[in-house]
């Protein structure tokens, strides 16, 4: 069996001089608490504190980073239990065998880095997964999961997560969050995030029924706006710090109030056109910014993704199953109406994410370098890999500086990958700052101060924690 070993200097520079600087910087921040302002862990996981069922339901089924690469390699999603709950033991074990037999598909990807860190540092795995040791690894991890020290709350404390944001539907009663807030045994602050996308996409089938879930009288546009504002206030009352938006584009052109009312009634009647629905959604993003100025919720935007690119997969397995694909993105013109109106408002924090890497240097960095409300979101989704993180570091900081960065965002459903993802970021930030020190562009004490801020104070200030 091939050994699974973690080199202590992984991702640090190969040059010995640079590596020594990066190593010193990294060692100072490696054990600092994790701040996770955007992610997708279910709060009920922590509230219920039930043992994880098996390695497959923990590592494979919920993680579309994993399943999409296996699918691309010819593995049917049905064999992995995608879209299902925990599998019967025989199926779960077989899915794990498939994963181990296809370990080579993850070479060179950040998924490999996250897996190796999680396996070795959390579960004490010492062998690289393969077809020969799949059952042995399954049994080893299952034995650990049966221990109380591997329940969700114990791992939450072990991971040293000081703040964890979830992603929540505006109509959610947030009962799990209320219970977590009132539980003195929970030392991590777990906060909801207001995610209104499906209530703003008025052209989607079933929207006229869905919008009633917001509560209140939504029979007209004014009632709809009031309902959204009320739900935002409710989220704030239970600790929410941000509202998250992910649409096809970043348009923010406001409508005349009479046009907004007319389109809203067309949406309720089911007669709104695709063009009109897009115009209404862009108007509502403008309105979301106005609401953020009023209630203080940080506004995060991550447009530029073609959701559910493969309709047959959507029909069989549902959304968020690995077939969302990036598209080319434009931000400067799209955001101009919003920024003209709210870009200097003292209560607005706007964090921009992209999956179009050219946008960092061409648009996000210049925008963040002028507008006091605007921050460059960390490389996200398809870009949260070492190469693109390094590209981002150069593309943004030389135009906007370090203080305009969001701090790292893990954006994950895979609970056990959270520490590995943050560790990758800390190593790569240490590497980049070591280069600046070696080039005599920063003194080492400034580099350490900057790195510490990126891990601790920066995300707290950006997300108003």
CA distance 300 to 252: 14
Say whether pLDDT at 1 is over 90.
Answer: no
Q: Is residue 261 part of a domain?
A: yes
Q: How many CA atoms lie within 13 A of 383 on its CB side?
A: 24
Q: Is residue 62 part of a domain?
A: yes
Say whether pLDDT at 187 is over 90.
Answer: yes
Whether residues 284 and 313 share a domain: the answer is yes
Q: List 298's β-bridge partners, or say none.
A: 242
pTM to 2 decimals?
Answer: 0.96
Domain boundary (150, 175, 201) is at 150
Whether residues 130 and 236 share a domain: the answer is no
Whether residues 376 and 285 share a domain: the answer is yes
Q: Is residue 44 part of a domain?
A: no
Say whether pLDDT at 125 is over 90.
Answer: yes
Say whether pLDDT at 432 is over 90.
Answer: yes
* Number of H-type helices and E-type strands within the chain: 23, 9
Say whether pLDDT at 200 is over 90.
Answer: yes
Structure-token match 């025989």, residue found: 90
Instruction: Say what the pLDDT of residue 449 is.
Output: 98
Mean pLDDT of all residues in 352-371: 97
Mean pLDDT of all residues in 439-450: 98
Instruction: Say what the pLDDT of residue 416 is.
Output: 96
391: number of Cβ within 10 Å: 17
Instruction: Say what the pLDDT of residue 387 is.
Output: 95
Q: What is the CATH number of the domain that holds 145?
A: 1.10.2020.10
31 burial level (CB within 10 Å; 0-12, 13-18, 19+): exposed
Say whether pLDDT at 126 is over 90.
Answer: yes
Whether residues 144 and 236 share a domain: the answer is no
CA distance 276 to 259: 10
CA distance 118 to 8: 14
- Residue 14 DSSP one-character state: S
CA distance 246 to 451: 29
CA distance 417 to 380: 15
Instruction: Say what the pLDDT of residue 77 is.
Output: 97
Mean pLDDT of all residues in 427-456: 98
Collapsed DSSP state (helix, strand, coil) of residue 300: strand
Whether residues 183 and 229 share a domain: the answer is yes
Residues above pLDDT 70, as percent of the chain: 100
Whether residues 65 and 213 share a domain: the answer is no
Q: Per residue in 223-264, pLDDT tens?
A: 999 999 999 999 999 999 999 999 999 999 999 999 999 999
Mean pLDDT of the chain: 97
The parent domain of residue 146 ranges over 52-150
Whether residues 324 and 241 share a domain: the answer is yes
Q: Per residue in 294-336, pLDDT tens?
A: 999 999 999 999 999 999 999 999 998 999 999 999 999 999 9
Domain count, the chain: 2
Instruction: Say what the pLDDT of residue 239 is.
Output: 97
Q: Is residue 283 part of a domain?
A: yes
- Beta sheet of 350-352, edge-to-edge order: 242-245, 298-301, 350-352, 374-376
Domain boundary (150, 181, 213) is at 150
Q: What is the CATH number of the domain that holds 248?
A: 3.20.20.140
Whether residues 227 and 375 share a domain: the answer is yes
Whether residues 204 and 226 share a domain: the answer is yes
Instruction: Say what the pLDDT of residue 60 is.
Output: 97
Q: Is residue 414 part of a domain?
A: yes
Mean pLDDT of all residues in 84-109: 97
Instruction: Say what the pLDDT of residue 69 is.
Output: 97
């Amino acid at each position: 069996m091939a050994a699974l070993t973690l080199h202590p200097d992984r991702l640090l520079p190969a040059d010995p001089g640079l590596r020594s600087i990066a190593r010193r910087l990294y060692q100072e921040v490696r054990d600092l608490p994790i701040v996770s302002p955007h992610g997708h862990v279910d709060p009920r996981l922590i509230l219920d504190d039930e043992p994880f069922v098996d390695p497959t339901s923990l590592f494979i089924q919920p993680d579309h980073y994993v399943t999409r690469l296996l699918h691309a390699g010819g593995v049917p999603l049905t064999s992995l239990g995608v879209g299902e709950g925990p599998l019967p033991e025989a199926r779960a074990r077989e899915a794990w065998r498939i994963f181990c037999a296809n370990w080579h598909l993850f070479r060179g990807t950040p998924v490999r880095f996250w897996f190796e860190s999680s396996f070795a540092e959390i579960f004490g795995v010492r062998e690289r997964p393969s077809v020969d040791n799949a059952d042995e690894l399954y049994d080893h991890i299952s034995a650990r999961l049966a221990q109380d020290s591997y329940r969700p709350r114990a791992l939450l404390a072990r991971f040293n997560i000081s703040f964890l944001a979830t992603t929540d539907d505006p109509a959610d009663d947030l009962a799990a969050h209320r219970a977590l807030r009132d539980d003195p045994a929970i030392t991590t602050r777990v906060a909801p995030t207001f995610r209104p996308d499906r209530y703003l996409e008025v052209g989607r089938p079933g929207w006229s029924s869905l919008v009633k879930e917001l509560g209140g009288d939504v029979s007209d546009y004014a009632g709809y706006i009031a309902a959204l504002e009320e739900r935002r206030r409710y989220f704030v009352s239970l600790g929410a710090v941000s509202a998250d938006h992910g649409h096809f584009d970043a348009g923010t052109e406001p409508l005349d109030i009479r046009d907004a009312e007319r389109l809203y009634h067309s949406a309720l009647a089911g007669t709104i056109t695709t063009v009109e629905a897009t115009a209404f959604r862009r108007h509502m993003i403008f309105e979301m910014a106005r609401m953020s100025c009023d209630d203080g919720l940080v506004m995060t935007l991550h447009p530029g993704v073609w959701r559910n690119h493969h309709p047959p997969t959507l029909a069989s397995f549902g959304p968020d199953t690995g077939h969302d694909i990036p598209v080319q993105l434009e931000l400067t013109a799209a955001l101009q109406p919003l920024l003209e109106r709210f870009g200097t408002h003292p209560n607005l924090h706007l964090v921009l994410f992209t999956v179009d890497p050219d946008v960092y240097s061409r648009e996000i960095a210049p925008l963040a370098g002028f507008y006091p409300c605007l921050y460059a979101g960390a490389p996200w989704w398809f870009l949260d890999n070492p190469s693109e993180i390094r590209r981002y570091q150069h593309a943004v900081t030389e135009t906007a500086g370090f203080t305009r960065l969001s701090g790292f965002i893990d954006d994950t459903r895979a609970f056990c990958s959270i520490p590995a993802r943050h560790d990758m970021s800390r190593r790569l930030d240490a590497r980049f700052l070591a280069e600046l020190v070696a080039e005599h562009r920063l003194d080492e004490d400034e580099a350490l101060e900057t790195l510490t801020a990126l891990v601790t104070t920066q995300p707290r200030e950006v997300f108003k924690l």
